[in-house]
Structure 1
Amino acid sequence: MLEGNQAAVFAERQKGTLPGELGIEWQVVANGRAEGAFAVARKHMAPNGFMHAASVVALVDSACGYGCMASLPEGASGFTTIEIKTNYLGTAKEGERVACEARLVHGGRMTQVWDAEAVNETTGKTIAVFRCTQMVLWPR
């Protein structure tokens, strides 16, 4: 389990990967929670003119994954996602900002369950609610 806010550590680690390419910024990555956001740009859009659902999943899934890493039990070597579920309730336009907050619902020895909500900061409306289950990995 990592102590304190590890947002800067995870921001550095994501460079050159999908969260980094999407411009996701982290305010909090700590034991039991994570908060991040991105400014909606063309790269986040689908060809139909709406924000691509995968952009939202990248944000909320990354928040839960980073939070999981910060919340692993002592001695665990990592995690893998075993289930995700997203309900979409809205969208955002280019120039608006999408933020999320993820929180640990269950932190067991073998699994973690995380909930996250993505919100359009411009309108205040919920864009998506997300839940995932992570399997905790242990050295062999």
Structure 2
Amino acid sequence: MSATAAAFAPDLRALPPDAWPEALTEFYKSGLPGVLGIEITALEPGCVEARLPLRDDLMQTAGGILHAGTIVAFADSLAGWGCLASLPDTASAFVTGELKANMVASTRQPDALTAVAIMVHGGRMTQVWDVTVARESDARALAHFRCTQHLVAGR
């Protein structure tokens, strides 16, 4: 793997699957996923599940409703991690090429978000991921997110 690809993310293919959540959490702790405080609860090729406890700085205002950007960043992080867990041997990395989010509800504190990301297409050049983000308190869906990941060739 090139130095650029190594700096992008850990190569999960080189690790046992039970080490994947910790490897991603540790690698991304200094970036936006770490700032958000995402907790990976399940990770395998084609599927990621996670939780995000809510706090004031993730809301529109302290004590207010959830900021849509929190949902988008949470969902995009899961789709990216799922992509890393699902990279074909011909790819070394990925970039998000397109994303869309439909917000259908919101929440306030105290609550947490849960999400499930599922790969709906795994090709040689792209992957497409659907992520459903829900309230933990009652499992109501808050957002439906879809993104396309462009795979970076080379290993």
Residues 64-104 of structure 1: CA deviation (Å, up to 9, x unaligned): 00000110100311001110010001112122010000011
Structure 1, gaps ≥5 residues long: none
**Root mean square deviation of aligned Cα:** 1.6
- TM-score normalized by structure 2? 0.85
- TM-score normalized by structure 1? 0.93
Q: Would you say 1:35 and 2:34 are equivalent positions?
A: no
CA contact (8 A) 1:37 1:59 kept: no
Distance (Å, rounded) in 2 between the aligned partners of 1:91 and 1:13: 30
Q: Would you say 1:45 and 2:59 are equivalent positions?
A: yes
Partner of 1:14: 28
Partner SS for 1:64: helix
Partner of 1:124: 139
Partner SS for 1:104: strand
Same amino acid, percent of matched pairs: 38
| Displacement of 1:121 | 1.1
Q: Would you say 1:25 and 2:34 are equivalent positions?
A: no
Greater percentage in helix: 2
Distance (Å, rounded) in 1 between the aligned partners of 2:76 and 2:146: 9
Count of residues in correspondence between the two structures: 140
Residues 18-51 of structure 1: CA deviation (Å, up to 9, x unaligned): 1111111101222111111111100111138211
Partner SS for 1:77: strand
Distance (Å, rounded) in 1 between the aligned partners of 2:84 and 2:141: 26
Partner SS for 1:66: helix
Distance (Å, rounded) in 2 between the aligned partners of 1:124 and 1:44: 19
Q: Would you say 1:95 and 2:107 are equivalent positions?
A: no
Distance (Å, rounded) in 2 between the aligned partners of 1:52 and 1:69: 27
Partner SS for 2:25: helix
Moved >2 Å (runs of 4+): 1-5
